[in-house]
Structure 1
Amino acid sequence: TADIGRSDDVQRMVDTIVSKWGTIHIACNNAGINMNSASEETSLEEWDRTFNVNLRGTFMCCQAAGRVMLQQGYGKIINTASMASLIVPHPQKQLSYNTSKAGVVKLTQTLGTEWIDRGVRVNCISPGIVDTPLIHSEDLRPLVQRWLSDIPAGRLAQVTDLQAAVVYLASEASDYMTGHNLVIEGGQSLW
């Protein structure tokens, strides 16, 4: 494990993997944090902390794993962005999260185009609202009902929905794909 907000932790993690396995073929960057606050109330500390994990940390992981992959001439990097990179979800207020995840999409597109000719593909997934124990608190029940009314599929994403997408992006079936943002949100961003 590593604190992806610390470059020395990220490099140590990559070095440990290469030391044990000799290479890195696939890297999945899935860390993220969210702090809900109105835009006018968002502190610089909240902004910096969110960007440090969601965007800066993803960049450092891409760069460290990417160096190994570029040297070997092959690799797949899969970043986790969010549906919030495409739309402004409501009614939650999460400026720093939305903006940082939009940055992950642009990071993915940029690295994907820069590295494809050297054998490294970089793609991302943008999940919608995922059905996890965290959202089943009594306090969130009205919000979950609101979200469900906004999703044409009529349900929240399941972890297995995301797993299938990551397996595809990690497989040879996606070898001609790079810089792509695979949106997995039951149609919510289409409204």
Structure 2
Amino acid sequence: MTTPNFRLDGQVALVTGAASGIGRGIALGIAGSGADVACLDLAGPALDDLVAEIHESGRRALAVPGDVTDPTSLAEAVRRTEADLGPLGLAVNSAGIADAAPAESMALAQWQRVVDVDYTGVFLSCQAEARVMLPREHGAIVNVASMSGTIVNRGLLQAHYNSAKAAVAHLSRSLAMEWADRGVRVNALSPGYTATPMNSRPEVAEQVKQFEADTPLGRMARVDELVGPAVFLLSDAAGFCTGVDLLVDGGFTCW
């Protein structure tokens, strides 16, 4: 029996939401696994810093300022990726926002913005990526959902976010079935509470204590602990995995 290949050597990846948090960690992890990476996010120093760090690691990288709610922007991002780095074979769609509010008083614009970025943005990203992967009959896409698509987080008023993340998981299954016989695998990755900059602010310190107490492993995930699952789903080691929603939640959803 051959050893599973978890490496991504010689491949080209596109990561959305790459400038911070989980997206940034995954972009660095993909580069560390041997791929060249196009990093899509809103323009800014964080995006440039990420690309510089990937270059320093010895891999090629490309900063792609873009908006996941804009199909034209995504098509241009894919075009630039292929022009600068080569044929796109891997993608991680991590762009997302959160903006809590009580459901009964939530403005329609607030609901729509979260759904547009967290759900429709993932669909549009998959669509742009698949348009170059499907003709080659080769590709792997990972969509970052959340355990909030499976459970409702105690104390967090985010009906729009929870619904969008649940939709991402089912979208991933749906696309996986559409494209299963055309060489493109699609899976979802659903993190639990993770120590991103958003969860490291002083004003949420008390809430974080509750998050950790509610997690069987007794802590939040480190960003780097999401990298292995993402790389696995992209790699040949997961060649028979499609339509999976991989929960990486420290056991949270077992309770």
TM range (shorter): over 0.9
The answer to whether residue 192 in structure 2 is matched with residue 128 in structure 1 is: yes
Segments of 5+ residues of structure 1 without an aligned counterpart are: none
Find 2:237's aligned residue among 136, 156, 173.
173
Partner secondary structure for residue 109 of structure 1:
helix
The answer to whether residue 131 in structure 2 is matched with residue 67 in structure 1 is: yes
Find 1:117's aligned residue among 148, 171, 181.
181
Partner secondary structure for residue 76 of structure 1:
strand
Aligned runs of 1:3-152 on 2, under 5 Å? 3-152=67-216
The answer to whether residue 233 in structure 2 is matched with residue 160 in structure 1 is: no
Segments of 5+ residues of structure 2 without an aligned counterpart are: 1-64
Q: Following the alignment from structure 2 to structure 1, what is the Cα–Cα distance between the partners of residues 69 and 227?
A: 25
Partner secondary structure for residue 106 of structure 1:
helix
Report the CA distance between 1:21 and its aligned residue: 3.1
Divergent runs of 4+, >6 A: none
Q: Following the alignment from structure 1 to structure 2, what is the Cα–Cα distance between the partners of residues 75 and 100?
A: 24
Q: Following the alignment from structure 2 to structure 1, what is the Cα–Cα distance between the partners of residues 193 and 163?
A: 17
Would you say how many aligned residue pairs link Structure 1 and Structure 2?
A: 191
Report the CA distance between 1:133 and its aligned residue: 2.9
Identical-residue share of aligned pairs (%) = 37
Letter in 2 for 1:35: D
Q: Following the alignment from structure 2 to structure 1, what is the Cα–Cα distance between the partners of residues 152 and 224?
A: 25
Q: Following the alignment from structure 1 to structure 2, what is the Cα–Cα distance between the partners of residues 29 and 132?
A: 17
- Give TM-score, length-normalised by structure 2: 0.73
RMSD of the alignment, in Å? 0.9
Q: Following the alignment from structure 1 to structure 2, what is the Cα–Cα distance between the partners of residues 37 and 90?
A: 14
Letter in 2 for 1:162: L
